Chains A and B, each alone.
Chain A
Amino acid sequence: MKYRFVVDPILCTGCRTCELACAFSHARNLKQGRSRIYPLLHAKDRYVPVTCLQCDDPACVKSCFYNALRRNEETGAVELDLDRCVKCMACVAACPFGCALFDEVHNEVVKCDLCKGDPACAHFCPSKALRYTRIVSK
């Protein structure tokens, strides 16, 4: 794990560019995918971009009985293998942060996989509230 996905809510303006970037970068068959990131309004003019926290001990991985969720050691993201997923919704129900989602358009479970190490949302964030930065070891 050389990189870390940084969310800086102080800088977030709630423009929802990340949501668009995510939905379009996960588009298939000319249909947008469900966004894996949501800037949510929690107080007046204050937004927090909510996305998968890639927990150290993830409840989604524990809840999956078919080993469809596994950590990618390179990017540090917990990735969902759609070939192994049977849509039992265990991870959607178990995630304590509600960041495993069900995409009704593509009829599949989705979660943030940090775009396999190149997150589109971080590229497009105009205020740099989302960053993908190299971890500097001290």
Chain B
Amino acid sequence: MITIYINGKAVRAKENEMVLACIRREGTNIPTLCHHEAIEPCGSCRLCMVEITKKEWEGWKKLVTSCLYPVEPELMVSTHTPQIMELRETLLDLYLARSPRAELIQKMAEEYGLVQTSYEPIPDGDNCIMCYSCTRICAELGCHAISAVERGHEKVIAPPLNQPAVDCIGCLSCAHICPTHFIEWTDDETGRSIWGRKFELLSCQKCGKKIITRDFADYQMRKRSLPAGYFDTCDDCKRMELAKTMGKLVVAVQEVTK
């Protein structure tokens, strides 16, 4: 355990922990877009920037992304200095120009006093902010079905060669982790559509409720050696089955003890 100072307050931190984790635990609120506990940090949104200094640095200061900076003994962190606030405001201003219709960005910008971007908004600006959360979670899953394609202004997140994603298993992790809910998907009677592909949804053999995609179930069976029978019925029917089995046991026990 080591001690760091967040806005002057001493906080105990584990070794190899990132500064952002300490800030959040201490209760200070700083905005982030690309951060999620399930994936490795990549520091792409830059909103978690903080100012750090140490006694022996003799007044020198550094601006770092707190999600990528490991704690050091006697580190002094400032989260809301005028310079940091200006930096975040500029970043949110730019995000607002890029994604004018993203609700989360609008809300975050409002907290920093921005209603309208001071830059010229992109007329057909989409809600993708290039935080790579989707590609990172897909890699974490082990699928690597999507990645950034093209460069510069044309850069988008897409499956290889803009063809239907062959490695995708339709788990929707990317759609759920997306901070601005940009990734589109649909579920209907015929199945699930995402990344240009149609997936078959497993139905409960008893009540017909849709469970998960067949590819995702197969993936779990293959990678985590779960038996195929686990995916036959939905959770409601499984609970009822458990109640019936337990009920039979209770009756058997009662008859024995009679």
Query: Do A and B interact?
Result: yes
Contacts of A67 in B (CB 8 A): 38
A92 to B211, CA, bound (A): 9
Which of B142, B176, B226, B238 has a CB less than 8 Å from the CB of A86? B176
Tell me whether B217 is interfacial, beta carbon within 8 Å: yes
Q: How many interface residues does chain B have, given as a range?
A: 35 or more
Which of A83, A94, A97 has most chain B Cβ within 10 Å? Answer: A94
- CB atoms of A95 and B246 under 8 A apart: no
Tell me whether A23 is interfacial, beta carbon within 8 Å: no
Which of B36, B38, B254 has most chain A Cβ within 10 Å? Answer: B38
Tell me whether B171 is interfacial, beta carbon within 8 Å: yes
Binary per-residue interface labels of chain A (33-50) against chain B in the complex, 1 for a CB within 8 Å, 0 otherwise: 000001011110011101
Residues A97 and B37 in contact in the complex (CB < 8 Å), given A63-B220, A90-B212: no
Residues A84 and B235 in contact in the complex (CB < 8 Å), given A42-B243, A50-B243: no
Tell me whether A118 is interfacial, beta carbon within 8 Å: no
Instruction: Please give the distance in Å from B213's CB to the nearest CB on chain A.
Output: 10
Binary per-residue interface labels of chain B (33-57) against chain A in the complex, 1 for a CB within 8 Å, 0 otherwise: 0001111000000000000000000
Tell me whether A85 is interfacial, beta carbon within 8 Å: yes
- CB atoms of B173 and A59 under 8 A apart: no
Which of B216, B242, B243, B254 has a CB less than 8 Å from the CB of A90? B216
- CB atoms of A46 and B238 under 8 A apart: no
Contacts of B231 in A (CB 8 A): 93-94
Which of B223, B233, B247 has a CB less than 8 Å from the CB of A9? B247
Instruction: Please give the distance in Å from A35's CB to the nearest CB on chain B.
Output: 12
A89 to B210, CA, bound (A): 12
Contacts of B171 in A (CB 8 A): 88-90
Binary per-residue interface labels of chain A (1-45) against chain B in the complex, 1 for a CB within 8 Å, 0 otherwise: 000000001100000000000000000000000000010111100
A43 to B177, CA, bound (A): 43
- CB atoms of A92 and B235 under 8 A apart: yes
Contacts of A92 in B (CB 8 A): 235
Instruction: Please give the distance in Å from B47's CB to the nearest CB on chain A.
Output: 17
Which of B141, B238, B254 has a CB less than 8 Å from the CB of A97? B238
Instruction: Please give the distance in Å from A36's CB to the nearest CB on chain B.
Output: 11
Contacts of A50 in B (CB 8 A): 239, 242-243, 246
Residue numbers of A with Cβ under 8 A of B are: 9-10, 38, 40-43, 46-48, 50, 59, 62-63, 65-68, 81, 83-90, 92-101
**3 residue pairs, one from A and one from B, having the closest CB atoms:** A98-B238, A98-B235, A42-B247
